[in-house]
């Protein structure tokens, strides 16, 4: 367990203090957490217990104010403008590249491509690196735990190019089968594209080992880090990732913003993703030349305000401390897991050691949508369904699950509120 006192760094009201993780101070930075839901005439409603963070996290005041300040005081289009507002906004927007590079410990800011989310980051690799280097009979390796965003782009390429897709299984706990993974490599294996953190099971995959095995075969690795980067520190140099995709809205930032880390040599070998302004060096009707990475992959007006918001979100989580967040969320996970396990008929799907703060579960005789609807009446917001991971849901033999996912602002009382609400569902159907 890290020394929380070494992580003290205030931002707004957020603070990891000398007494430890002060979640109540952190909560004051998130205006929406004061919401009461299902208010009715004469009744104030229930306090919001927001446990849908794996779908999208709430935003701290620092993010809201950074975006508002840009729109109110500094907004202009970025790059090439010589006037004051454009230069101010360009400087603020370009800082997001530095913030992402620092968050991931990338070797340089030029290894960070700003995208419109983790999905676009993966599609970028499939559409550029994939189309250039993959041909009929070549194979890629994914896992059964993938989000659809790391399945469908490769299936599109499969239809177009005739590539093969091999799938790494997981065991009943949701642990990736590394022995099976090793056995999938062959002479035509060209890429591994695998999650670093399951959005359904909470499983954190052994990224460094995954990369080492792939590199032994001369194969690059793309990690979908949209869930992993939220729950603890990620060092792309330490795990030796070749590509790393993330999305901003799960990281307490705005929607429509994300990033792709790519080793410089790989990015330099990739053709442009889209054509348009800002990604070109020179254009004529005789032909066009393109800028060096990362800019050749960033056609058109970028998500300016969203980028500024993401920079503020990264500052926020790093100020609180990703190690401290991980410790706090683990305590929430243990509390909720113990409570749900005491409810007869509730089964948790995904029990891998060292998992992140995500709990998917099913209840005997009760559809997950009914679970979600009833716990919502108690003020507890969870997600229900297949979570954009249908092959994984099918692997566990369930039609859907209810999913509670924790964030840096959730409390032990809220973990208890989840358990109490689920117990209430059990009583409702008794």
Determine the Cα angle at 100 with ends 98 and 106, to 5°.
85
Sequence-ordered alpha helix ranges (H) in 105-206: 118-125, 131-133, 152-161, 178-183
In the structure encoding, which two tokens stand for residue 338, read together? 């113990």
Of 388, 393, 400, 404, the active-site residue reads 388
**Cis preceding linkage at 294, omega within 30:** yes
Q: Residue 67 in contact with residue 305, Cβ under 8 Å?
A: yes
CA distance 112 to 101: 6
Determine the Cα angle at 86 with ends 83 and 91, to 5°.
120
DSSP 90: H
CA distance 240 to 263: 9
CA distance 401 to 290: 46
End-to-end CA distance of the chain: 42
Q: Which among 311, 312, 304, 244 has a CA at the least distance from the CA of 105?
A: 244
Q: Residue 8 in contact with residue 18, Cβ under 8 Å?
A: yes
70 is catalytic: no
Q: Residue 29 in contact with residue 13, Cβ under 8 Å?
A: yes
Report which secondary-structure segment, H or E, holds 104. helix 84-104
CA distance 316 to 29: 10
Q: Residue 272 in contact with residue 299, Cβ under 8 Å?
A: yes
Q: Residue 319 in contact with residue 10, Cβ under 8 Å?
A: yes
Residue 284 pairs in a beta bridge with: 287
In the structure encoding, which two tokens stand for residue 177, read together? 């089968």
What 274-278 contacts at long range (C-beta under 8 Å, 24+ apart), as own/partner pairs, is 274/299, 274/300, 275/299, 276/300, 277/301, 278/79, 278/302
Centre a 10 Å sphere on the Cβ of residue 70 and count the other Cβ atoms it contains: 22
Q: Would you call 416 exposed, middle or buried from its count of C-beta atoms within 10 A (0-12, 13-18, 19+)? A: middle
Q: Which residues are known to be catalytic? A: 388
């Amino acid at each position: 367990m890290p020394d929380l006192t070494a992580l003290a760094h205030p931002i707004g009201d957020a603070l990891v203090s000398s007494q430890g993780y002060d979640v109540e101070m952190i909560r004051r930075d998130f205006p929406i957490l004061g919401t009461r839901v299902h208010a009715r005439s004469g009744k104030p409603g229930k306090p919001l217990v927001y446990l849908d963070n794996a779908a999208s996290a709430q935003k701290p005041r620092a993010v809201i104010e950074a975006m508002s300040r840009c729109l109110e005081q500094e907004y202009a289009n970025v790059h090439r403008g010589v006037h004051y507002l454009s230069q101010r906004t360009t400087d603020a927007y370009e800082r997001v590249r530095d913030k992402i590079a620092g968050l991931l410990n990338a070797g340089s800011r030029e290894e960070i491509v700003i995208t419109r989310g983790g999905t676009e980051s993966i599609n970028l690799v499939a559409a550029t690196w994939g189309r250039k280097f993959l041909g009929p009979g070549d194979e890629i390796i994914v896992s059964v735990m993938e989000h659809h965003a790391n399945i469908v782009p490769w299936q599109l390429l499969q239809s177009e190019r005739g590539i093969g897709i091999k799938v790494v299984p997981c065991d009943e706990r949701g642990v990736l089968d590394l022995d099976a993974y090793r056995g999938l490599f062959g002479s035509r294996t060209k890429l591994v594209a695998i999650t670093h953190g399951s959005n359904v099971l909470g499983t954190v995959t052994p990224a460094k080992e995954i990369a080492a095995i792939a590199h032994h075969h001369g194969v690059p690795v793309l990690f979908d880090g949209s869930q992993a980067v939220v729950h603890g520190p990620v060092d792309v140099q330490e795990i030796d990732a070749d590509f790393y995709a993330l999305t901003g809205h799960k990281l307490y930032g705005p929607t429509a913003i994300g990033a792709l880390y790519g080793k410089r040599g790989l990015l330099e070998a990739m053709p442009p993703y889209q054509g348009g302004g800002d990604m070109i060096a020179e254009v004529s009707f005789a032909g066009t030349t393109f800028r060096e990475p990362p800019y050749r992959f960033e056609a058109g007006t970028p998500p300016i305000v969203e980028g500024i918001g993401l920079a503020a979100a990264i500052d926020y989580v790093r100020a609180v401390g990703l190690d401290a967040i991980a410790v706090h969320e683990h305590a929430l996970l243990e509390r909720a897991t113990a409570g749900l396990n005491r409810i007869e008929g509730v089964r948790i799907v995904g029990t891998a050691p060292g998992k992140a703060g995500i709990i998917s579960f099913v209840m005997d005789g009760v559809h997950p949508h009914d679970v979600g609807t009833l716990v919502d009446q108690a003020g507890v917001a969870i997600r229900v369904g297949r979570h954009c991971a249908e092959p994984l849901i099918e692997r566990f033999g369930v039609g859907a699950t209810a999913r509670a996912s924790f964030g840096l602002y959730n409390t032990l009382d809220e973990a208890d509120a989840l358990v109490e609400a689920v117990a209430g569902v059990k009583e409702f159907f008794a």
